[in-house]
Amino acid sequence: MIDLDDLTIHQRLDPGGMLAQLKGLPQQCHAAWNKALQFKLPTEYRDADKVVILGMGGSAIGGDLLRSLTHRLNRPLVFVLRDYDLPPFVDNRTLVIASSYSGNTEETLSAFSQALNTRCHKLALTTGGKLREMAERAGVPVFTIDHVSPPRAALGYSLMPLIAFFQQLGFFEDKSAEVAEMLKTLEELLSKWNEAAPTDSNLAKQLTRSLHGKIVVIYGAGILSEVAHRWKTQINENSKAWAFFETLPELDHNAVVGYELPSELASNIFVVLLRSSHVHPRTLVRYEVTAELLKQNGISHQFVDAYGESEFAHMMGLIYLGDWVSYYLALLYQVDPTPVRVIDYLKKRLSEAN
């Protein structure tokens, strides 16, 4: 098996440079936050009572995480749309934010073109492409992403500007202290999980060893529901491996019944339970009972507790762990984590079907 403590493997197995992207996430978040604080939105956007974030894949995850952070807000209601058609409830008190790293995501372009025919407030986040052209032609503000990476590695630019914009529009109170604590947490975790930190003291490497050769299932709850989602997609894209996610307490009403069959799968599954003290106390009890059921059915599992103090730090710290695990898992499978050739094939076939 690949030795994750062998520093020569990164040059050989990571020619796309995903390691550099991982190590740069704290600085990326800091840069995106500062840039977004300087970006001024029209004052009339403050009257929005609904926000619809258009996006797919790595460009949509920022919207998912933002929605998790708005669970205590009276307004606005936040929706994330991963599809071609704009919801019918979009009106003049809706802010539609189109998020597409490339600017050429066809589902996002379709929904955004429909938004242009409504009286809703509009905003685009992109590096360029057709989205930038459409927005500028319509006089829609464009926040330019100036970070070069695969979309999934541009999390700082898909999330931090949204938080800054919500603060600017008065939907959030000042988030500066929480952002500072989150960034400090990421820097501390970088020193614990980077490639030079040995396996015997590196949780990311240890967990990766447990997941190697398994079907990975990630459980999360509350503010960690979309964190579990992020783990799933990162393992899919970086590790080129099967992964799924479920959320508590819902999974206790169905998924637990399916632990029994087919019985031969039990030894091939590993469940990661992401846990935070910010989750509802009754749900924390459910974590323990669910783990008992996994054990009774011979299914390997492990709790992973959040880092930091705030909800934001808990979310981002566990996201960072999942990113590192997906990277190390790619190395164990001896695949380059950066390319997503299957998605490239899908896009090619779809373009031929036009």
Annotation says 10 is catalytic: no
Catalytic position from the list 237, 278, 311, 314: 237
Task: Give the active site residue among 40, 253, 264, 352.
Answer: 253
Query: Is position 237 annotated as part of the catalytic site?
Result: yes
3-state secondary structure the chain: CCCCCCCCHHHHHCCCCHHHHHHCHHHHHHHHHHHHHCCCCCHHHHHCCEEEEECCHHHCHHHHHHHHHCCCCCCCEEEEECCCCCCCCCCCCEEEEEEECCCCCHHHHHHHHHHCCCCCEEEEEECCHHHHHHHHHCCCCEEECCCCCCHHHCHHHHHHHHHHHHHHCCCCCCCHHHHHHHHHHHHHHHHHHCCCCCHHHCHHHHHHHHHCCCEEEEEEEHHHHHHHHHHHHHHHHHHCCCEEEEEECHHHHCHHHHHCCCHHHHHHEEEEEEECCCCCHHHHHHHHHHHHHHHHCCCEEEEEECCCCCHHHHHHHHHHHHHHHHHHHHHHCCCCCCCCHHHHHHHHHHHHCC
Q: Which of 23, 214, 301, 347 is catalytic?
A: 347
Does 250 qualify as catalytic in the annotation? Answer: no
- Give catalytic residue positions: 237, 253, 347
